[in-house]
């Protein structure tokens, strides 16, 4: 200790104590403010932060050290502390994002660390000004603030190391502080193993800072404290029989069957980053492109001060200088260096600065210099921070919050999602009112942990549903194209993204149906039923029940094995929409002329036939057969020996039959032929397939044909000629609108069920829509027969109906369409799951039919037969 | 966790607490600079003022008693201020003969203050002898030495100075076993004494409840009169009297100076050791059973007394615990967390080994002895077996206590420690 300075305060002992305390409180408050302002917004959440929070979550909620197999990459004291903190602060949902909870612990540790720093300098110099200078250099350094905010093991380790330092320097001849110092250092090592590098400095301290009267005991106590604490880690590994394995290959490589502590240790030591003086090395890069730019002052003054204290120091000061040297060697020894590895250096830089400046002041015999240094420290801090204001103003983490909120609203809870760890906890455990995505997986594990990519995903990218890409993830995936993560990523479509400045997060859907889609089918059906069906009636939000609504509901109920609903809907339909001739009215709107709709009739009849198959009840079949026969009577018209399909009973007049491709249901006619052998349903199939091909390619009076089916076309009863744009049709006949598009769904179902070759040729005949999609990434809600778009709006029904066509024609496009237009539109609300706004029943029906098709739910055979 | 595991965890935590507290006590003197100072003897002596009565209760000590008497007389203290009394029972012909021989030999040398007192009533034990002895003497300060004790010539000066300077009425000076190399357990035995007198006793003194030692203990006559002498039905009359004095609130000064310790020897064989320990443990249990300690004024004192006196029971648990824990750890499936908790007392035992080893280094240095090669290894290997020895003695004591078998089992002395190294660092 510098004797000259003490004399300044000898007469003012009480004053210096008061000053010290004031300075300390002021420093603590300053640290608190500077660290916490905008600490949840900047910097961006790092994947590592998420890893530690997820591991803390595993301890607190899953009763194990890590969510996945623990491979001893780090000793667990750091996230054990995080888990304890989370439990103290009321769980992982006290803060909006789990990482925020961890950051609040970092704040606390940071303030305490600075207090310890202050105390150390005060003890060694007896000069409160020196102490506060050191504290200010530390608190106001951008490097300290940025990296200190992040939930990193290094920050926790620094806390323990500073505590160990303080205890050692303030032992005052007492044994137990020396012991506790050893224990704290052991805890620092158990938090992050790199703390081991501080040992040489501590050996020096144990040699010089221990009092004579208990020399051996104190040293033995320190050694025991350290070794016993560290040995707990090895004890744990031994108890789990994971200490030693004969193969030293990296546990991450997937080669060795088991994880081992020593194996992990060797792997860590083998990660090189280039000699520190090489411009290409990690160290050099980090130093010149990041650290020295953000705070050259702390580093420059700190290194100079370290040398000063090494040369001129008494034992205490030299100890602190050695700590700094050890920390510097820790970073600059040619191993891999990440940006935040600077963390352990910073407090020792500040410590040494304070000590050296105090020494300088003593040497110069100018005590007034010290307050000047305080002012200088404030000025440096101000200057630094002013140039990096984004620390306080930029809210980068909003992207992550927004992405989380969107996923919670739009992605089904069963989905298997590959994420960067920062959102892991919040996805897995959504908290009150939010879903728990138990299929959330860290991309590191999906790529590297056999228990995940092999046991869980069976090495099949199709088992992954979504990916959430945070900045930098793409490069990581691209490093190894053999990994499952890359495979899934390269076969996925972005469906949404959020960005602030340069930071962007992208949500991607994997091009495959999978678990997520299955859950959408299931949950949206349940929502549809609960919201729209009452006592068997499908009640739209506005308007009246249509026959199509009822018929589709019956089909949905059969496919979803919901017999109760089926019975309710069929009963209501029978009682309210059927006329004596046993066909369905078009709608139950009072005062409207009753008309039949062939598509509704066909679907209802098929639903009854399928119901018999599914539930082995012949009464359904009988009702179905009756209906089939009536359809023949009412909607099939013979023209010159061929049987044409009319769009409804209204579509038949003396001159013409109006054909609506949307009502052509080839998938059903095969069944009709079986149950109604009297009538020639095969002819219906053949005739109308041919007709469909004709009306699609025919000009229909326009300049050209884009190969799109029209909504309605008249057939002359006399000669079978085409009569475009029949006046009796409800809309302009030649338009390809969302109604016309429904033929694609129907024909594709025929292709799927019966492998009908004509279906395939029809679906693949025109590449018009495919090209439109490729060019514009969207389709209009209606096109003229020539291919000119008639509107700028999009239609969910159109997309739904076209999806099956693309699945047959070019699956990649189908996946894109599904991902961007259907999956993205799926929303979870308080009243249920729906597409879009959820009020348009036709949209809900058709989106369901499309998703069901995509998922393979729409079958006609079940195991109970 | 199964019920069995819960029980093991609770026992582990209790043992952890106990061993930690024990370690804390062992390190008490070294934990702060001023504590060392407090325990030291005065550097300069006051002029001889107090007169001393030296009681030498002896039974079957014909081999050593003459050396003992001679040793007392060699003290650097005016002979006219000392009276030495050997107390024997009438049927102990051998010892009586030797004593009378010695007295006869002293007469021509002009030494008149050695006497022999013989009693013939019951009980046949040390406290009874002491009570008789102190009644038939008259000097100011009464002290007791065992027959095998090798006292330091200046010990009377030390006590005289302390009693004058500090006005205390009871002084316990250090007793130290010296022969750490005799057999496999002697080092640990020596260290027991070392830590007890150098450190643990001071903790007790600071808290205010001390079980006293059986010799090198100095009482003023008036305090003995007040307290009524020793309890003749107790196997550890020293512990008992210590507690009664503590209840009175009497301050007991503990002096430990490596130089001035009274040197003793370890029991020569395991059998002897166990007998000695059994007696001590049983005595503790007796005192515990009498419940007198509950009259101590402060709760902390009562707890400490309870804890100290019940140490026999705890020691039995200790010895049983380790094999049980090892067995469950290696032969049954246990969650790692539970297994780690079971290991914690083992850590503390390792810590105790370390403390013992460091203590041995200090001891050897303080008494200018030579540390044999590989002593650390010998200490390590004998550590757990020694605990077993203590455990056996403890169990034996518990059984005897329960069967109410209170006879004295005497230990044999062979002078193994006499003739050892001379000076010691002060």
pLDDT of A706-719, one tens digit each?
Answer: 999 999 999 999 98
**Average pLDDT of chain B, as a whole number:** 84
Note the pLDDT tens digit of each residue in A361-400.
888 888 888 888 999 999 999 998 988 888 898 888 888 8
Determine, for residues A239 and B329 on separate chains, whether the beta-carbon distance falls below 8 Å.
yes
Buried b (16+ CB within 10 A) or exposed e, A557-586: bbbbebeebbbbbbebbeeebbeeebbbbb
Q: Which residue of A172, A175, A209 to mutate against B (max B Cβ within 10 Å)? A: A175
* Strands of the sheet with A417-419, listed across from one edge: A440-442, A417-419, A466-469, A503-510, A492-500
Determine, for residues A175 and B358 on separate chains, whether the beta-carbon distance falls below 8 Å.
no
User: What percentage of chain A has pLDDT greater than the value 90?
Assistant: 55
- Token pair belonging to A1: 């200790």
Q: Which residue of B27, B35, B365, B379 to mutate against A (max A Cβ within 10 Å)? A: B27
How near does any CA of chain A get to the CA of B28, in Å? 9
Residue whose tokens read 């995080």: A82
pLDDT at res. A502: 78
A224 interaction partners in chain B (CB closer than 8 Å): 350-351, 354
Note the pLDDT tens digit of each residue in A649-664.
888 888 899 999 999 9
Work out the burial of residue A640: count CB atoms within 10 Å of its CB; fewer than 13 is exposed, 13-18 middle, 19 or more buried. exposed
Task: Tell whether B80 lies on the interface with A, counting CB pairs under 8 A.
Answer: no
Determine, for residues A224 and B351 on separate chains, whether the beta-carbon distance falls below 8 Å.
yes
Q: Is the pLDDT of residue A480 over 70?
A: yes
Task: Tell whether B36 lies on the interface with A, counting CB pairs under 8 A.
Answer: yes
pLDDT at res. A246: 46
How near does any CA of chain A get to the CA of B415, in Å? 32
Range name among A252-266, A352-366, A674-688, B380-394 with the lowest pLDDT average? A252-266
Note the pLDDT tens digit of each residue in B358-394.
999 999 998 888 888 888 999 999 988 888 888 888 8
pLDDT at res. A10: 33
Confidence of residue A159 (pLDDT cuts 50, 70, 90): very high
Task: Tell whether B355 lies on the interface with A, counting CB pairs under 8 A.
Answer: yes
Of residues A647, A768, A811, A654, the one with CA closest to residue A717: A654
How near does any CA of chain A get to the CA of B148, in Å? 31
Determine, for residues B27 and A228 on separate chains, whether the beta-carbon distance falls below 8 Å.
no
Note the pLDDT tens digit of each residue in A441-476.
999 999 988 888 888 898 898 899 999 998 888 888
Confidence of residue B425 (pLDDT cuts 50, 70, 90): very low
Chain A residues with a Cβ under 8 Å from any Cβ in chain B: 173-176, 211, 213-214, 216-218, 220-221, 224, 228, 232, 235-236, 239-240
CB of A457 closer than 8 Å to CB of A446: yes
Determine, for residues B358 and A211 on separate chains, whether the beta-carbon distance falls below 8 Å.
no
Q: Please report the sign of the dihedral spanned by the C-alpha atoms of residue B351, residue B353, residue B355, residue B361.
A: negative
Question: For A220, which of B329, B343, B358 is closest by C-beta distance?
Answer: B358
Q: What is the mean pLDDT of residues B43-72?
A: 88
Determine, for residues A175 and B31 on separate chains, whether the beta-carbon distance falls below 8 Å.
yes
How near does any CA of chain A get to the CA of B32, in Å? 4
Q: Is the pLDDT of residue B244 over 90?
A: no
β-pair type (A503-510, A466-469):
antiparallel
Task: Tell whether B354 lies on the interface with A, counting CB pairs under 8 A.
Answer: yes
Q: Is the pLDDT of residue A9 over 60?
A: no
CA dist., res. A654 & res. A643, Å (int): 16
Binding-face residues of B in 305-344 toward A, CB within 8 A: 329, 334, 336, 339-340, 343
pLDDT at res. A200: 94
Range name among A388-392, A782-786, B233-237 with the lowest pLDDT average? B233-237
Determine, for residues B354 and A218 on separate chains, whether the beta-carbon distance falls below 8 Å.
no
Q: What is the mean pLDDT of residues A150-154?
A: 95
Confidence of residue A356 (pLDDT cuts 50, 70, 90): very high
Report CA dihedral (A61, A65, A70, A76) to the nearest 10 degrees: 140
How near does any CA of chain B get to the CA of A209, in Å? 14
- Token pair belonging to A129: 């000004």
Report the predicted TM-score, pTM, of the whole model to 2 decimal places: 0.84
Beta strands in A346-463 (DSSP E): 417-419, 440-442
Determine, for residues B350 and A228 on separate chains, whether the beta-carbon distance falls below 8 Å.
yes
B30 interaction partners in chain A (CB closer than 8 Å): 175, 213-214, 217-218
pLDDT at res. B415: 59
Between helix A315-331 and helix A296-312 the angle, nearest 10°, is 130
**Average pLDDT of chain A, as a whole number:** 88
Interface size A-B, in CB pairs within 8 Å, comes to 49
Report CA dihedral (A854, A856, A858, A863) to the nearest 10 degrees: -170
The total of other beta-carbon atoms located within 10 Å of residue A745's CB is: 23
Buried b (16+ CB within 10 A) or exposed e, B325-360: beebbeeeebebebbbbbbbbbbbbbbbbbbbbbbb
A217 interaction partners in chain B (CB closer than 8 Å): 27, 30, 355, 358, 362
How near does any CA of chain B get to the CA of A50, in Å? 25
Note the pLDDT tens digit of each residue in A755-773.
889 999 999 999 999 999 9
- Token pair belonging to A206: 């144990």
Q: Is the pLDDT of residue A301 over 70?
A: yes
Q: What is the mean pLDDT of residues A192-203?
A: 93
Question: For B32, which of A174, A216, A220 is closest by C-beta distance?
Answer: A174
pLDDT at res. A864: 62
Note the pLDDT tens digit of each residue in B411-421.
555 555 554 33
pLDDT at res. A245: 61
- Which whole-number Å values give the CA distances from A14 to A17, A20, A677, A816, B338, in the listed order? 5, 10, 111, 76, 51
Question: For A216, which of B340, B351, B358 is closest by C-beta distance?
Answer: B358
CA dist., res. B61 & res. B71, Å (int): 15
Determine, for residues B336 and A236 on separate chains, whether the beta-carbon distance falls below 8 Å.
yes
Determine, for residues B30 and A218 on separate chains, whether the beta-carbon distance falls below 8 Å.
yes
């Amino acid at each position: 200790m510098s004797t000259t300075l003490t004399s300044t305060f000898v007469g003012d002992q009480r004053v210096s104590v008061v000053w010290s305390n004031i300075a300390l409180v002021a420093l603590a408050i300053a640290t608190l403010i500077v660290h916490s302002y905008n600490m949840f917004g900047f910097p961006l959440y790092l994947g590592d932060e998420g890893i530690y929070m997820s591991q803390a979550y595993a301890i607190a909620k899953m009763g194990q050290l890590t969510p996945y197999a623990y491979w001893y990459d780090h000793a667990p004291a750091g996230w054990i502390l995080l888990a304890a903190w989370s439990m103290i602060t009321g769980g992982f949902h006290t803060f909006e994002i789990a990482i925020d909870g961890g950051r609040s612990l970092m704040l606390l540790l940071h303030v305490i660390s600075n207090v310890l720093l202050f105390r150390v300098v005060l003890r060694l110099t007896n000069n409160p000004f020196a102490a506060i200078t050191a504290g200010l250099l530390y608190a106001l350094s951008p490097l300290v603030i940025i990296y200190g905010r992040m939930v990193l093991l290094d920050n926790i380790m620094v806390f323990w190391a500073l505590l160990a330092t303080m205890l050692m320097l303030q032992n005052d001849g007492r044994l137990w502080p020396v012991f506790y110092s050893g224990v704290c250092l052991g805890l620092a090592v158990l938090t992050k193993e790199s703390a081991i590098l501080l040992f040489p400095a501590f050996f020096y301290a144990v040699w010089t800072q221990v009092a004579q009267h208990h020399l051996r005991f104190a040293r033995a106590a320190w050694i025991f404290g350290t070794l016993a604490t560290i040995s707990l880690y090895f004890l744990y590994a031994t108890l789990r029989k994971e200490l030693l394995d004969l193969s030293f290959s990296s546990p991450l490589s997937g080669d060795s069957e088991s994880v081992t502590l020593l194996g992990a240790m060797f792997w860590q030591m083998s990660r090189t980053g280039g000699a520190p003086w090489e411009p290409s090395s990690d160290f050099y890069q980090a130093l010149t492109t990041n650290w020295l730019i953000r705070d050259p002052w702390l580093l420059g003054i700190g290194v100079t001060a370290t040398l000063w204290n090494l040369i001129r120091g008494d034992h205490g000061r030299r100890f602190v200088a050695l700590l700094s040297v050890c920390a510097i060697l820790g970073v600059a020894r040619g191993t891999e260096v990440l940006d935040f590895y600077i963390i352990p250096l910073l407090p020792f830089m500040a410590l040494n600065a304070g000590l050296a400046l105090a020494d300088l002041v003593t040497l110069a015999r100018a005590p007034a210099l010290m307050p000047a240094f305080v002012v200088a420290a404030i000025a440096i801090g101000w200057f630094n921070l002013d140039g990096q204001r984004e620390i306080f103003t930029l809210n980068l983490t909003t992207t992550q919050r927004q992405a989380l909120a969107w996923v919670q609203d739009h992605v089904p809870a069963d989905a298997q999602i590959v994420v960067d760890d920062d959102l892991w906890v919040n996805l897995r455990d959504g908290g009150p009112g939010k879903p728990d995505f138990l299929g959330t997986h860290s991309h590191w594990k999906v790529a590297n942990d056999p228990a995940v990519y092999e046991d869980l995903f069976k090495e099949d990218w199709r088992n992954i549903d979504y990916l959430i890409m945070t900045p930098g993830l793409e490069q990581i995936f691209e490093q190894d194209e053999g990994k499952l993560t890359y495979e899934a990523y390269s076969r996925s479509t972005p469906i949404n993204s959020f960005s602030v400045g340069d930071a962007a997060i992208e949500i991607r859907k994997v091009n495959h149906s999978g678990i997520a889609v299955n859950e959408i089918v299931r949950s949206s059906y349940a929502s549809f039923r609960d919201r729209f069906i009452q006592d068997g009636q499908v009640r739209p939000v506005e308007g009246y029940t249509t026959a199509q609504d009822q018929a589709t509901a019956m089909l949905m109920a059969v496919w979803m094995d919901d017999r109760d609903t089926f019975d309710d809907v069929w009963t209501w339909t029978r009682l309210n929409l059927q006329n004596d001739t046993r066909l369905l009215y078009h709608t139950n709107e009072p005062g409207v002329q009753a008309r039949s709709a062939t598509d509704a009739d066909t679907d209802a009849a098929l639903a009854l036939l399928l119901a018999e198959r599914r539930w082995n009840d012949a009464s359904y079949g009988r009702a179905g057969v009756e209906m089939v026969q009536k359809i023949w009577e009412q909607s099939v018209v013979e023209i010159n020996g061929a049987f044409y399909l009319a769009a409804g009973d209204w579509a038949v007049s003396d001159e013409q039959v109006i054909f609506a491709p949307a009502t052509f249901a080839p998938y059903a006619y095969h069944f009709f032929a079986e149950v109604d052998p009297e009538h020639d349903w095969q002819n219906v199939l053949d005739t109308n397939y041919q007709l469909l091909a004709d009306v699609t390619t025919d000009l229909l009076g326009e300049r050209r044909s884009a190969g799109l089916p029209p909504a309605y076309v008249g057939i002359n009863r006399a000669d079978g000629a085409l009569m475009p744009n029949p006046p009796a049709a409800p809309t302009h006949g030649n338009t390809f609108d969302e109604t016309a598009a429904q033929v694609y769904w129907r024909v594709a179902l025929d292709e799927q069920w019966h492998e009908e070759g004509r279906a395939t040729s029809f679906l693949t005949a025109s590449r018009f829509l495919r090209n439109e999609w490729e060019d514009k990434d969207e389709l209009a809600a209606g096109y003229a027969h020539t291919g000119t778009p008639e509107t700028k709006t999009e239609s969910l029904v159109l997309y739904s109906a076209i999806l099956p066509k693309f699945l047959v024609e070019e699956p990649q496009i189908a996946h894109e369409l599904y991902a961007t237009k259907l999956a993205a539109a799926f929303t979870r609300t308080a009243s249920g799951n729906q597409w879009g706004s959820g009020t348009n029943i036709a949209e809900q029906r058709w989106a369901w039919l499309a998703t069901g098709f995509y998922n393979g739910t729409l079958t006609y055979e079940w195991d109970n037969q | 966790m199964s019920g069995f595991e819960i029980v093991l965890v609770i026992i582990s935590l209790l043992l952890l607490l106990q061993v930690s507290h024990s370690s804390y006590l062992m390190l008490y003197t070294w934990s702060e600079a001023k504590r060392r100072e407090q325990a030291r003897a005065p550097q300069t002596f006051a002029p001889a003022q107090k007169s001393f009565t030296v009681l030498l209760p002896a039974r079957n000590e014909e081999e050593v008693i003459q050396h003992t008497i001679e040793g007392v007389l060699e003290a650097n203290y005016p002979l006219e201020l000392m009276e030495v009394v050997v107390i024997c029972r009438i049927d102990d012909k051998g010892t009586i003969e030797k004593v009378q021989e010695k007295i006869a030999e002293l007469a021509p040398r002009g030494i008149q203050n050695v006497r022999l007192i013989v009693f013939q009533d019951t009980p046949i034990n040390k406290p009874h002898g002491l009570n008789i002895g102190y009644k038939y003497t008259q000097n100011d300060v009464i002290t007791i030495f065992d027959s095998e004790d090798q006292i330091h010539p200046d010990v009377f000066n030390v006590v005289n100075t302390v009693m004058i300077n500090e006005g205390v009425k009871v002084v316990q000076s250090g007793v130290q076993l010296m022969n750490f190399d005799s057999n496999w357990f002697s080092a640990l035995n020596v260290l027991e004494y070392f830590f007890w007198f150098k450190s643990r006793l001071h903790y007790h003194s600071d808290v205010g409840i001390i079980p006293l030692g059986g010799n090198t203990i100095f009482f003023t006559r008036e305090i003995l009169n007040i307290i009524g002498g020793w309890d003749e039905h107790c196997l550890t009359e020293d512990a008992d009297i210590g507690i009664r004095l503590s209840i009175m609130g009497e301050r007991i000064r503990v002096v430990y100076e490596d130089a001035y310790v009274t040197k003793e020897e370890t029991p020569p064989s395991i059998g002897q050791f166990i007998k000695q320990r059994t007696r001590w443990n049983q005595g503790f249990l007796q005192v515990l059973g009498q419940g007198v300690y509950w009259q101590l004024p402060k709760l902390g004192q009562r707890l400490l007394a309870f804890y100290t006196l019940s140490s026999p029971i705890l020691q039995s648990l200790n010895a049983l615990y380790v094999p049980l824990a090892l067995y469950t750890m290696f032969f049954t499936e246990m969650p790692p967390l539970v297994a780690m908790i079971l290991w914690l007392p083992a850590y503390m035992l390792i810590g105790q080994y370390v403390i013992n080893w460091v203590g041995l280094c200090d001891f050897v240095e303080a008494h200018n002895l030579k540390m044999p090669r590989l002593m650390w290894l010998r200490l390590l290997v004998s550590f757990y077996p020694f605990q077993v020895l203590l455990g056996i003695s403890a169990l034996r004591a518990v059984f005897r206590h329960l069967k109410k078998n209170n006879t004295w089992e005497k230990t044999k002395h062979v002078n193994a420690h006499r003739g050892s190294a001379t000076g010691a660092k002060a």
